[in-house]
């Protein structure tokens, strides 16, 4: 059955026969790298070398990024350097709002050109009211924010698991398994992801991950052809 599945997948992908592949490991390796998903993960337990500070014109700058109880609290905007050339991807992270909001960017080339989103506490309390806010920044000019009330009940200590789907000009945002917004915009065609906090805001990041080009053929090839000791 496995051999049949491999044959079907390779046929769909238009790759050479298995015999030819066995004779040319380089060809197979190149195809896997081209088709398999790019996956990155950071739990912020090591350092922030992968997160590049982005210039900002914010007047009241927040405190620098810091580690607190094993989690990272973002300050001025930093971009994940390994994501800055990406176009279509799935971006996930988990965070807790300590004070007012957690903010993130995607398809960001710098602080002046990005898509921005945030979860903002608009009515604090044991059962706070939270809004999903989004806007576009181009050439340093921000569009009018769009606000959506979060369609789920949360507590002051809720951990927000956020998932962003970014494909072509279509975007989807989900929080704790619930879709909170979908929209389209063609201002920025590529760029990385990042986090920031404005003055008076504090959030704790638990992890961040990103996955690009996750097509069916790539996933099967990556699973079949990776070394056995890494499965």
Contact between 183 and 80 under an 8 Å Cβ cutoff? The reply is no
Task: Check whether residue 171 and residue 70 sit in a common domain.
Answer: yes
Return the pLDDT at 63.
73
DSSP state of 176: T
Whether residue 10 is found in the same domain as residue 113: no
Q: Which of 15-29, 71-85, 160-174, 195-209 has the lowest average pLDDT?
A: 15-29
pLDDT at 224 over 60: no
Residues 192 and 221 in one domain: no
Q: What is the mean pLDDT of residues 41-56?
A: 87
The number of domains in the chain is 2
Say what the pLDDT of residue 231 is.
43
End-to-end CA, the chain: 19
Mean pLDDT over residues 161-185, rounded? 97
Q: Which domain holds residue 14?
A: 2-35+216-230
19 and 133, same domain (yes or no): no
Query: For the chain, what percent of residues have pLDDT higher than 90?
Result: 66
Strands, DSSP E only, in the chain?
38-42, 51-53, 66-68, 71-73, 78-80, 89-99, 101-110, 113-123, 129-138, 141-142, 146-149, 159-167, 170-175, 178-184, 192-196, 202-212
Reference 73, options 211, 200, 209, 165; nearest CA is 200
For the stretch 189-212, pLDDT in tens is 999 999 999 999 999 999 999 998
222 plus 150 within the same structural domain: no
Q: Is the pLDDT of residue 173 over 90?
A: yes
Residue 222 and residue 167 share a domain = no
Residues 31 and 43 in one domain: no
The CA distance from 13 to 168, in Å, is 22
Question: Are 195 and 101 within one domain?
Answer: yes
Q: Which of residues 172 and 24 earns the better pLDDT score?
A: 172
pLDDT of 145 over the 90 cut: yes
User: Is pLDDT at 47 greater than 80 in this prediction?
Assistant: yes
Instruction: Verify that 19 and 127 share a domain, yes or no.
Output: no
Q: Same structural domain for residues 121 and 109?
A: yes
User: Beta-carbon neighbour count of residue 111 at 10 Å?
Assistant: 22
In a 13 Å sphere around the CA of 88, the CA atoms on its Cβ side amount to 8
CATH of the domain at 172: 2.60.120.560
């Amino acid at each position: 059955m496995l051999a049949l599945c491999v044959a079907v997948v390779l046929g769909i992908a238009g790759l050479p026969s298995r015999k030819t592949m066995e004779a040319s490991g380089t060809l197979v390796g190149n195809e896997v790298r081209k088709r398999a998903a790019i996956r990155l993960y950071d739990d912020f337990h090591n350092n922030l070398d992968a997160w590049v500070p982005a210039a900002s014109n914010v007047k009241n700058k927040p405190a620098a990024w810091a580690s607190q109880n094993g989690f990272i609290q973002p300050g001025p905007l930093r971009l994940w350097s390994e994501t800055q050339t990406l176009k279509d991807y799935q971006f996930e992270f988990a965070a807790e709002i300590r004070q007012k909001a957690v903010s993130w960017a995607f398809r960001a080339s710098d602080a002046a050109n990005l898509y921005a989103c945030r979860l903002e506490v608009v009515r604090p309390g044991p059962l706070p009211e939270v809004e999903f806010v989004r806007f576009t920044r181009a050439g340093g000019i921000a569009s009018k924010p769009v606000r959506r009330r979060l369609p789920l009940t949360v507590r002051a200590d809720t951990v927000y698991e956020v998932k962003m789907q970014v494909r072509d000009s279509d975007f989807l945002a989900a929080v704790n398994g619930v879709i909170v917004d979908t929209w389209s915009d063609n201002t920025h065609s590529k760029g990385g992801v990042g986090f920031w906090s404005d003055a008076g805001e504090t959030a704790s990041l638990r992890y961040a991950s990103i996955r690009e080009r996750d097509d069916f053929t790539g996933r099967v090839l990556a699973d079949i052809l990776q070394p056995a000791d890494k499965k």
